[in-house]
Amino acid sequence: MTSFFSRASRTSRASRACRARATALLGALAFAGAAQAHDFRVGDLSIDHPYATPSRPGVQTGAAYLRGIRNKGAVADRLIGATTPVAERVELHTRQTEGDVVRMREVAALEIPAGQEVQLRHGQPQHLMLVGLKQPLKAGDRFDLTLRFERAGETTVKAWVQQPRAAAEDAKGADAHHTH
């Protein structure tokens, strides 16, 4: 009996160690993949290149973007919310031009139709507004952004802080952020 138990416990220890190694290896692979391609998957959705522009000195709001969200499924999904440790809250915004005035409006959800890609790039109407930044966003920083989808559920992606390619577009976007 004694020898049986000791053998059983050795086996179980070995298999635990093996599982731990496998998990660590998977984690390392997943991290390497994300760092290179910088895209993320959750359910039928693939989220391409989450990023944010550097925040301006003394300004406590920032904006985050996604190169795109592709829905490979047969059913529409919706982005219904987001959170991040770097800001008090995240709002889904869309920009509207009324005459000469550009205004931003908070929306409850962003539709991601089946089989399509929705872009939330810099210079486009939709973006994620980071309200109440707890720290300035500097080029080169990376931060967690948790996206909540109605069907696919929640996923945390890494947003890269980077200078936008078009400075003119940035100025336009920055001005728009003051007309809430």
The binding site for Cu ion (CB under 5 A) comprises 93, 104, 129
Which of 110/152 has CB closer to Cu ion? 110
Least CB distance to Cu ion at residue 118 (A):
17
Residue 4's H or E segment, with its range, is helix 2-37
Least CB distance to Cu ion at residue 156 (A):
22
3-state secondary structure of 37: helix
Distance CA 10, CA 5 (A): 9
Which of 46/124 has CB closer to Cu ion? 124
Which of 7/178 has CB closer to Cu ion? 178
Which of 38/93 has CB closer to Cu ion? 93
Point out the residue whose Cβ comes nearest to Cu ion.
Answer: 93
Which of 42/92 has CB closer to Cu ion? 92
Cα 36 to Cα 31, 67, 100, 146, distances in angstroms: 9, 15, 41, 20
Cα 138 to Cα 101, 134, 159, distances in angstroms: 29, 12, 12
Q: Of 167, 173, 83, 179, nearest to 127 (Cα)?
A: 173
Least CB distance to Cu ion at residue 174 (A):
11
Least CB distance to Cu ion at residue 54 (A):
16
What amino acid is encoded at 112 in this protein? I
Least CB distance to Cu ion at residue 43 (A):
27
Distance CA 118, CA 129 (A): 17
Which of 46/119 has CB closer to Cu ion? 119
Distance CA 105, CA 83 (A): 18
Distance CA 120, CA 108 (A): 15
Least CB distance to Cu ion at residue 76 (A):
24
